[in-house]
Structures are given as C-alpha cells and as structure tokens.
C-alpha cells in the first residue's frame, strides 16, 4: 500500500480515548495526565542507505539529526521535550571511534533543550539504524486541527536547503557544498523554543513541523482543520541555495508551519522581536477546501506533492 493507504489502515489499530486525546494524524500522541498536563510521545527512526549515507553523513551528523527529527515533533505541538530512549542497531562491534561522536552529538543536542537520555536498547543488525523515542510535556498542545478561514499562514524560517543538499551532493563533493546547505541537511535545528512560546502565549491555531515538504505538511493542517489555503509564491522564504520547487516540496526542513488569527499578529511580531528573528507570512487559510498558489496576478490550483516514504 502507499503511505496514505497505510496511515488510513493503521487507524483501526491506534486508539483515541478520554486519556489518549490525540494519536492519529499528529506529530505526537497526546495523553492527558491531569487538567493542565499532557504527555507528548513520539518516535522517529533513521536507517542507513534510506535516510542517510555514511559517504556524506558523519556519526556526529547522525546524532544531531536523530535528536532533531524527534525534538521537532515535540516542537510541532508546542511541547517541552523531557526524556528519550535510544535504540541503536549496529552491524559491527561498538567502537569509540564512531560511538563517541554519535553519543556526544545526540546527547548534547538533547541537552540544549533540557532533554535527557534515560536508556535504550542496543542490537546487532545487518545495517545501521537508530531510533529515538521521546516523551515531552505541555500545558497547551497545539494540534494540526484548529486552522480557521482568514488565519494567516506562517513559516518559521527559509525552506528548501535541506533538500538542495541532496541535489548538490549528486554532483559535488561535500567540501564544495555551501556551509548553510550542509547545516540544513546534516545538522538541522529543531524549533523547540518557538514552539513552546507559541503554546504558552496561545498564538497558533494549528501547527506542524515541515518534515515532508511545505505543501504536503500544509495539506495535512488543512485536512485536519477541514479548510483550504492560498499560498503567496513571492512571500515563501527560499533558502539561498534552494529552488522554489525545493522550498515547496523538499523535506526535512524542520521549520514550523503555523496559523495565526489576525488579532494575534501584533503579539507574534513582538515574539519575533524578542527572539530577534523573522517569521514569514506566506498565505492565508480559506474556507474552500482547495490549494492555490498565487503567482503575481495568476492563481493556480495545485496539488500537494511530498515525500512518500514507500515511493520507489
């Protein structure tokens, strides 16, 4: 089955009830512990030759990326990451030459956000794979559901450079690839601080992290919120070395994509000032359940295109 069919199929096995208030179609499962306390629970794996190649990924990079891909799921719900378990599958005996940089990168990336590794499982495996399971907490989870017509669509930083890396590495050696492009793909940063602040101030009506591409992740917000969207092409922030196509459909950006009511725009501006950064207003939610790309005076109806994890 395709990834879409699989996600639909999985739903019959995944529970939502009065405790598990959200598990389907979300970045994390959301479990209500008490009136104002929710556990967030997520897991993400990286597999050699599928998600990374050691020809261009160092063990340090792998540690950063594993931490970020999981932390980003917690960020997407406005949570505070807390405790993580590592599963490490290795085809060869563990050796300090490679385990040191991996563990240093993993735990230092987690610690930046006060997150602690508390255990795990280590197994022999024909290939390298790493899996993290991460628990977070929040008082106010932000869901994909919640975007309303008229809300503005924001993205937290320029897009596409992570995807540009995969294009450039086909033709160039690692040392000839611009630093920002390497960083974007190999050592991405999760938006934990922003997610937490949006949750605390209740500024976002919906949120997701861009892991599979702007269009497909915005489409997920729209599906859950039962709305549509128009995107303003000239407002989409494109990474310096990325193409528009990469900004729209490239994956692994780990930027936050969120929607904000007009009345909260001023507060968001203040938050940007506080963080000394910009957020990018790239479009608007519409009632009609379709997607439009506004190119100057043209309005194109588009279909989301993104990464299917089972596509060949």
Would you list which residues are annotated within the binding site? 27, 42-44, 51, 73, 120-121, 144, 209, 211-212, 252, 307
Q: Does 55 bind a second copy (CB under 8 A)?
A: no
CB of 51 to a second copy, least distance (A): 7
Instruction: Please return the burial class of 107, using the count of CB atoms within 10 Å of its CB with bins 0-12, 13-18 and 19+.
Output: middle
Question: Do residues 64 and 180 lie in contact, with contact meaning Cβ atoms separated by under 8 Å?
Answer: no
Q: Which of 77, 133, 184, 285 binds a second copy (CB under 8 A)?
A: 133
Distance of CA 9 to the CA centre of its chain: 23
Helix, strand, or coil (residue 53): coil
Q: How far, in Å, CA of 161 to CA of 167, rounded?
A: 10
Q: Whole-number minimum distance, CB 172 to a second copy, in Å? A: 26
Under rule CB under 8 A, residue 296 binds a second copy: no
Binding-residue total with a second copy (CB under 8 A): 60
Residues sharing a CB contact under 8 Å with residue 306, sequence separation 6 or more, in sequence order: 212, 213, 215, 216, 217, 219, 249, 251
Q: Considering the rule CB under 8 A, would residue 89 count as an interface residue with a second copy?
A: yes
Could you list the residues known to form a binding site for Mg(2+), using ranges: 27, 42-44, 73, 121, 209, 212
Q: Which of 53, 172, 289, 309 binds a second copy (CB under 8 A)?
A: 309
Residue 48 vs 161, nearer CB to a second copy: 48
- Provide the binding-site residues for a second copy, judged by CB under 8 A: 1, 3, 6, 9-10, 13-15, 17, 20, 23-24, 26, 28-29, 31, 33, 39, 41-51, 83, 85-87, 89, 93-96, 99, 103, 106-107, 116-127, 129, 131, 133, 135, 309-310
């Amino acid at each position: 089955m395709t990834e879409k069919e699989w996600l639909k199929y999985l739903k019959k096995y995944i529970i939502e009830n009065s405790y598990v208030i959200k598990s389907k179609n979300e970045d994390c499962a959301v479990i209500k512990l008490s009136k104002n306390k929710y556990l967030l629970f997520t897991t993400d794996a990286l597999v050699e030759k599928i998600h990374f190649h050691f020809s261009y990924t160092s063990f340090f990079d792998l540690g950063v990326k594993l931490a970020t891909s999981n932390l980003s799921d917690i960020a997407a719900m406005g949570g505070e990451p807390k405790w993580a378990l590592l599963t490490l599958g290795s085809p060869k005996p563990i050796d300090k030459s490679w385990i040191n940089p991996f563990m240093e990168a993993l735990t230092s990336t987690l610690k930046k956000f006060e997150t602690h590794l508390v255990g795990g499982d280590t197994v022999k495996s024909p290939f390298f794979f790493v899996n993290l399971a991460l628990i977070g907490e929040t008082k106010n989870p932000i869901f994909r559901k919640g975007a309303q017509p008229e809300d503005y669509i924001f993205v937290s930083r320029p897009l596409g450079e992570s995807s540009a890396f995969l294009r450039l590495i086909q033709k160039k050696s690692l040392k000839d690839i611009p630093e920002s492009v390497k960083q974007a793909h190999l050592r991405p940063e999760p938006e934990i601080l922003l997610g937490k602040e949006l949750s605390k101030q209740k500024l976002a009506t919906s949120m997701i992290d861009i892991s599979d591409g702007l269009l497909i992740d915005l489409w997920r917000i729209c599906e859950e919120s039962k709305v549509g969207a128009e995107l303003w092409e000239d407002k989409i922030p494109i990474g310096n070395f990325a193409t528009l196509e990469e900004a729209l459909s490239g994956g692994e950006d780990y930027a936050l994509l969120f929607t904000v009511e007009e009345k909260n725009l001023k507060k968001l501006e203040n938050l940007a000032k506080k963080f000394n950064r910009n957020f990018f207003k790239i479009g608007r939610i519409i009632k009609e359940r379709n997607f439009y790309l506004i190119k100057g005076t043209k309005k194109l109806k588009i279909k989301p295109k993104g990464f299917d994890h089972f596509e060949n």
